[in-house]
Structures are given as structure tokens and as C-alpha cells.
Amino acid sequence: MSAPKALTARGAILSGCKRLLSARHYSSSTPLLDRHLSVAIVGSGPSGMYTAKYLQSALANPKLASLPSTHSIDVIERLPTPFGLVRSGVAPDHPEVKSVEKDFREVFERNIGDSSSSSRQLGVAFRGNVEVGRDISLVELRRLYDIVVLAYGCDSDRRLGIPGENLQGVVSAREFVGWYNGHPRDVDLTEPLSELLSNPAEKSVSVIGQGNVALDCARVLAKGGEGLRSTDISAHSLPVLGGGVGKVTVLGRRGHVQGAFTIKELRELTKLSKEGHGVSFHVREDELDLGMTDSSRQELEGRLGRPKGRINKLLRAAAAVAHDPKAAKEVHLRFLLNPVEFVPDTADPTFVGSIICERTRLGGDPGKQSAVATGEYETIPTHLALTSIGYKGKALPGMGDIFNESEGVIVNQNGQIYGADESTGAGLYCSGWIKRGPSGIIGTNISDAKETVASILRDISTDVAPPHIGREQYNHGREGLDAILKERETQVVDWPGYIKIDLAEKSASNLRHEDQPREKMTRVEDMLAALRAL
Ligand code: FAD
């Protein structure tokens, strides 16, 4: 997953207009002091939650004299459940990563009451099952709030753009991950996947990509439902994955030194056999040699080369190890193979049957090596192909020029969005993947959110407020949002509502294993029904 630059050439031009726009933005002389400040954050993933956390503590800091005296922060989430990819992306066998939820829960629970709709109260409120662009528009939000922070992540896919990509059995890793993690958007994959993976021990799956998401998918496929019973993997995936897929091949067009995966995820693959999952790990010495160009050697010696050096060592050791003859399943990590075509299955040409890959070699300077075609081809039979070449952000309806379509990010500078029509309402900011692109771990969103919060504070701690603050015609913040959603009969899930869903998911009667943390509800209707029943 490469990180597209958030600030493009057009962004740089826009940033040149920053002074002008700021001056326009703060043309009112309304003092902020003694005013209530309403903030909406769109998205409750790590970036939305860290933004809420750091903004809340900054606004509550009595030492910052020129800040508003009261504030409310509303986290608006399209699902009834919070925390974004922590719930629906992080692998089920990585429970330690999900413990960050505790920190996020405190953001809501530190509140002085969420059940009241009074926007005069301090605190952070959850407004789940509310999708911006469906239940309320961005324009409406900007009229309701003083500050709107867009933290809605990246929810579409980069495409390979090769023939056969639309065949059945070519699925994005994003959807596959969402499916095994119980994202309501992806539950309907159960039927096609059961067909594609019927009798999984005899099936071959290819995962195209060289990042941690690709390695997560390979591990989940190899462990199978049986190896993941004690995790929070969704119940519908257990019978489909069964005892694990017979052969998983992870492939990428560059070499092992350029791979985007980290050593933790790689080590987990190499240890599957030792841990009793019956999976042998295969990597080819000739492909490691081929990738070890002079430029790759220099990359390993460079400032950022140390972690790559450890990966090189681990892969070399794995290539030299004899494979466990008792292991019935195999994971292969292949390098310098560029998929050029998905070939239809001979029995049913609506399905994928194999992938043609072109052997590549590396060319270019250290840090800039690219895959160069060689004209040699290899065909890899496959029953299911997962494309894991990166998530991509989408614009919200009506966003216009502030969205960079080719890079899938919002044009911004340090989280501040310039160029939106300032006369229509709130100051606009962004945070997380939709701000910087789909790269980085959960922790990366901390500094990212702090940067956005710093931009907000810099703006609101000037002694004049944005022009709309305090204007009577605006029905401010939470009160206004709740009134609109009530009128539209949107079934909003607030924090106490989510806690009911959470308790139902953790209830022992719903669990299959004593160590299983929760059984996720996977349909929005079921979540809302559970709320009404409790
Ligand atoms: P997201 O987490 O995607 O959150 C965005 C939120 O916005 C979602 O809740 C979404 O439902 C909501 N939303 C979207 N559109 C709307 C709308 N229109 N209206 C209202 N709400 C909306 N990092 C680690 O540190 N460790 C790991 O093990 C790890 N594993 C990962 C595994 C996968 C498969 C992936 C994809 C990522 C993983 N990461 C991991 C990275 C980490 O998940 C991201 O850094 C982080 O989730 C990005 O946060 P975000 O808030 O920008 O986006």
C-alpha cells in the first residue's frame, strides 16, 4: 500500500491561497470566548477517535484561555458499531491490536452524559447508523456545526486494470477481510465463497500484493475456520474456510527487499507449522537471489534498511529449511511475478481458473527500483484470486474540487481543507486515511490526528470566530442533528445503544469457545432488532 501524497500540485496552489481564505473565513468579529463550539467528526475509526480524544483534551484545558467555554463533539458513524478497521480490518488472530478499543471507549465514557441531546453539555457523543451522504448531507452538516472533521477512511479498491479482473472468483482483499470480520457490507460473499472454496483442502488461492493485508489473508486462509475458532472471526466464515485452504500463493511484482509487509506478519507465516496448523511455508532461493540487485543491497545498507535486513535473513533461513512432510497445506511467498491476465476456467468460463504472470526483474536506483518485464511467463492455477494492491478513498457526494480522485484523498494541508465554499458553513478538516492515503498502522493515526487538532486549535484560538458561529439561523450541533435525523426516521444508535449491542455480542450464550471475545452481529437489521429487544 503506497502512500499517495495528500498535498498535490493543486493542493500546493490552494495552500498558496491559504492566507486569503483564512482571512475570509474569520471575517466576522464575533469573539469565540463564552461561546459554545460544536464539532462533528465523520467516522469512528482510529483517526476519528484520536481526533476526538486530542480535541477533547485540548478544549478542556483551562490554560488555553482563548478557547470556547463549552463544546460538544459528535462522532458520526455509518455503522451501528464504532471503531472502523479495528473491528472490520484487523485480523481476528491479532486480539492484542484490538485492545486499543479500550482507549477509544474511554473517549465516549469520559462524557458528562450522552443520553441528553443538549449540545450545551461537554463531551463526545456517538451517533451510529448515520451515513453522511445518505442520512444527512455534508452541506447540512456544515450548516449545523462550527467544525466538521472528515475521518471516513478509504472504502474502495485500487484495481490492477488487467484482462479478466471482472471474472467471478476475483475478489478484492478488502471485501474478503470485511467478510471474515463480519462487516455488514460483505456478508453476502458467503454464498459465492462457499462455492469457490468448497472442499478447501483441495483448493488453490492466489493473493496479489506484498503488504500486511495480503499476509493476513494468506494466514487466515491457511489456518482456516478450525484454526480460528477461539477468535472473533465471523461464524459464517468457519464452514467456508473449514480446515484451511490447501495452497495459498502470495505474489508481487517486485522483490522481497521492496515488500511492504513487516517482520511480525512474515514470522507468523513461517511459524504456522510449528504452531500445529499443518502449513508449510515456501519461499524460493532463486527469487531471493534475483531480487538482490546492487540497488537492493544498497537499500539494505541504507538508513531504513535494518528491518528489511531482518526480513531478508528470515526469508533466507526459511528458504533453506526442509518442509514438514506432515503439513498438508502450503503457503508460498513469490516475488518478481507481475499478474498480466486472469484466465477463465475451462469448465466454467465465467469463473477464474488461473493467473498468467510475467517474470520481472528489478531496474533502477536504490529506493526507486521498479519491476521490468522480461517476456517470460508463468501460469498459476487458482480457484480464488484476492487482489490486495491497496485501499482507495472515495469522495462524499457534493465534495467537488476538494477531493483528489486519482489519489483518492482529500486535498488538505496539515488536515485543514481549503477550497470548500466558506460561505456555506463550518470549517472543514480531515484526518486519517482519507487525509493521507491508506498507509500506516493504527498508531500512525495518533500523530496524524494531533496535526489536524493543532490546525483546528490554531484557527479557533484566534480572537475571532468563524463567521457562522453564533448565528441564530443555524440550529447548532447535536440538537440540530438529532432533530433532522428524528424527522427522517433514522434509527440512530447512541453510545448506550452500542453498549447493548456490545454486551449481546459478548454474551456467553452467543459464544462458541471460552476464549472467543465476541460473536459479531453481521447485519444492521439484527443489531437494530437487538437494541429494541434489550
Ligand atoms: P477506518 O478505520 O477505515 O475508519 C473509517 C470509519 O468511517 C469507519 O468506521 C467507516 O464505517 C466510517 N465511515 C465511512 N464512510 C462514512 C460515512 N459516509 N458516514 C459516516 N461514517 C462513515 N493497523 C495496526 O496497527 N495493526 C494491525 O494489525 C492492522 N491490521 C490491518 C488490517 C487491515 C485489513 C487493514 C485494512 C488495516 C489494518 N491496520 C492495522 C491499519 C489500521 O486499521 C488503519 O491505520 C486505520 O484503521 C485507519 O483509520 P481511519 O480512521 O482513517 O479509517
Looking at the chain, the whole-number percentage of residues with pLDDT higher than 90 is 76
Please report which helix (H) or strand (E) contains residue 386, including its range: strand 384-387
The span from the CA of 358 to the CA of 102, in Å, is 46
Query: Taking Cα atoms as reference points, which of 421, 425, 372 lies closest to residue 400?
Result: 421
Please report which helix (H) or strand (E) contains residue 71, including its range: strand 70-76
Q: How many angstroms separate the alpha carbon of residue 326 from the centre of ligand 1?
A: 38
Q: Supply 30's cell numbers.
A: 464575533
Query: Taking Cα atoms as reference points, which of 93, 88, 380 lies closest to residue 244?
Result: 93
- How high is the pLDDT of residue 2? 37
pLDDT tens digit sequence for 135-151: 999 989 988 998 999 99
Quick check: 475 pLDDT over 60? no
Q: Which of 77, 85, 266 is the pocket-test mutation for ligand 1 (most atoms within 8 Å of CB)? A: 85
Q: How many angstroms separate the alpha carbon of residue 86 from the centre of ligand 1?
A: 6
Query: Taking Cα atoms as reference points, which of 472, 534, 469, 466 lies closest to residue 505?
Result: 534
Q: How many angstroms separate the alpha carbon of residue 433 from the centre of ligand 1?
A: 8
Question: Which residue's C-alpha comes closest to atom 34 of ligand 1?
Answer: 89
The phi, psi pair for 510, rounded to 5°, reads -95, 0
The span from the CA of 349 to the CA of 166, in Å, is 12
Q: How many angstroms separate the alpha carbon of residue 83 from the centre of ligand 1?
A: 7
Across 159-170, average pLDDT: 97
Q: Which stretch of 1-10, 12-21, 503-512 has the lowest confidence by average pLDDT? A: 12-21
Backbone conformation region of residue 398, classed left if phi is above 0, alpha if psi is from -120 to 50, else beta: left
Q: How many angstroms separate the alpha carbon of residue 87 from the centre of ligand 1?
A: 8
Q: What contacts 504, CB < 8 A, 6 or more positions away?
A: 510, 521, 530, 534
Burial 220-237 (b: 16+ CB within 10 A, else e): bbbbbbebbebbbbbebb
Q: Which residue has the cell 487538532?
A: 453
- How high is the pLDDT of residue 328? 93
Atom of ligand 1 nearest to the CA of 48: 51
Higher pLDDT, 66 or 374: 374
Across 231-237, average pLDDT: 98
- How high is the pLDDT of residue 107? 95
Question: Which residue's C-alpha comes closest to atom 26 of ligand 1?
Answer: 441
The span from the CA of 215 to the CA of 269, in Å, is 8
Query: Taking Cα atoms as reference points, which of 45, 37, 80 lies closest to residue 456?
Result: 37
Strand 147-150 with 36-42, pairing:
parallel
- How high is the pLDDT of residue 401? 87
Higher pLDDT, 35 or 500: 500
148, β-bridge pairs: 40, 428
- Give ranges for CATH 3.40.50.720 in the chain: 12-155+392-493
The phi, psi pair for 137, rounded to 5°, reads -90, 165
Q: What contacts 321, CB < 8 A, 6 or more positions away?
A: none
Atom of ligand 1 nearest to the CA of 434: 52
Domain 12-155+392-493, architecture per CATH: 3-Layer(aba) Sandwich (3.40)
The span from the CA of 243 to the CA of 329, in Å, is 10
Quick check: 90 pLDDT over 70? yes
The span from the CA of 50 to the CA of 34, in Å, is 26
Quick check: 322 pLDDT over 90? no
Q: How many angstroms separate the alpha carbon of residue 463 from the centre of ligand 1?
A: 35
Atom of ligand 1 nearest to the CA of 435: 52
Q: How many angstroms separate the alpha carbon of residue 46 from the centre of ligand 1?
A: 7
Q: For every residue of 465-499, which 3-state class applies, written as one string?
A: CCCCCCCCCCCCHHHHHHHHHHHCCCCCECHHHHH
Q: Which of 50, 83, 88, 90 is the pocket-test mutation for ligand 1 (most atoms within 8 Å of CB)? A: 90
Q: How many angstroms separate the alpha carbon of residue 388 from the centre of ligand 1?
A: 16
**Confidence band for 491, pLDDT divided at 50, 70 and 90:** very high
Q: Supply 221's cell numbers.
A: 486462509
Q: Which stretch of 104-113, 224-233, 452-461 has the lowest confidence by average pLDDT? A: 104-113
Question: Which residue's C-alpha comes closest to atom 40 of ligand 1?
Answer: 441
Quick check: 494 pLDDT over 80? yes
Q: How many angstroms separate the alpha carbon of residue 177 from the centre of ligand 1?
A: 12
159-389 falls under which CATH superfamily? FAD/NAD(P)-binding domain (3.50.50.60)
CA-only gyration radius of the chain, Å: 25
Three-state DSSP class for residue 136: strand
**Confidence band for 374, pLDDT divided at 50, 70 and 90:** very high
Spell out which residues line ligand 1, taking CB within 6 angstroms. Answer: 42-48, 76-79, 84-85, 89-90, 94, 97, 131-133, 151-153, 155, 177, 213, 216, 391, 396, 432-433, 440-442, 444-445
Quick check: 8 pLDDT over 50? no
Higher pLDDT, 311 or 321: 311
Is 182 within 8 Å of 522 (Cβ atoms)?
A: yes
Question: Which residue's C-alpha comes closest to atom 12 of ligand 1?
Answer: 43
The span from the CA of 192 to the CA of 499, in Å, is 33
- How high is the pLDDT of residue 66? 66
Across 200-222, average pLDDT: 97
pLDDT tens digit sequence for 390-404: 999 999 998 888 999
- Give ranges for CATH 3.50.50.60 in the chain: 159-389
Question: Which residue's C-alpha comes closest to atom 3 of ligand 1?
Answer: 153
- How high is the pLDDT of residue 15? 37
Q: Supply 525's cell numbers.
A: 437489521
Q: How many angstroms separate the alpha carbon of residue 428 from the centre of ligand 1?
A: 20
Q: How many angstroms separate the alpha carbon of residue 40 from the centre of ligand 1?
A: 18
Q: How many angstroms separate the alpha carbon of residue 89 from the centre of ligand 1?
A: 7
Q: Supply 33's cell numbers.
A: 470566548
Question: Which residue's C-alpha comes closest to atom 46 of ligand 1?
Answer: 442
What residue spans of 292-432 are helical by DSSP H?
A: 294-301, 305-320
Q: Supply 244's cell numbers.
A: 484451511
Query: Taking Cα atoms as reference points, which of 420, 530, 501 lies closest to residue 83?
Result: 501
Positive or negative: CA dihedral 272, 212, 90, 208: negative
Is 324 within 8 Å of 280 (Cβ atoms)?
A: yes
Question: Which residue's C-alpha comes closest to atom 28 of ligand 1?
Answer: 90
The span from the CA of 425 to the CA of 142, in Å, is 5
Q: Which of 103, 152, 430, 436 is the pocket-test mutation for ligand 1 (most atoms within 8 Å of CB)? A: 152
Angle among Cα 485, 489, 493 to the nearest 5 degrees reads 65
Q: Supply 72's cell numbers.
A: 460538544
Please report which helix (H) or strand (E) contains residue 352, including its range: strand 352-363
Question: Which residue's C-alpha comes closest to atom 31 of ligand 1?
Answer: 90
Q: Which stretch of 3-17, 45-59, 469-483 has the lowest confidence by average pLDDT? A: 3-17
Q: How many angstroms separate the alpha carbon of residue 434 from the centre of ligand 1?
A: 10
Residue 281 identity: F
Is 119 within 8 Å of 479 (Cβ atoms)?
A: yes
Q: How many angstroms separate the alpha carbon of residue 471 from the centre of ligand 1?
A: 35
**Confidence band for 204, pLDDT divided at 50, 70 and 90:** very high
Question: Which residue's C-alpha comes closest to atom 53 of ligand 1?
Answer: 153
Q: Supply 352's cell numbers.
A: 477464474
- How high is the pLDDT of residue 424? 53
**Confidence band for 460, pLDDT divided at 50, 70 and 90:** confident
Quick check: 3 pLDDT over 60? no
Across 473-480, average pLDDT: 74
Strand 337-344 with 352-363, pairing:
antiparallel
Q: What contacts 468, CB < 8 A, 6 or more positions away?
A: 143, 146, 425, 426, 474
DSSP tag of 110: T
Quick check: 306 pLDDT over 80? yes
What is the distance, to the nearest Å, from the Cα of residue 25 to the centroid of all Cα atoms in its chain?
32
pLDDT tens digit sequence for 9-47: 333 323 333 332 333 233 344 455 567 788 999 999 999
Atom of ligand 1 nearest to the CA of 84: 9
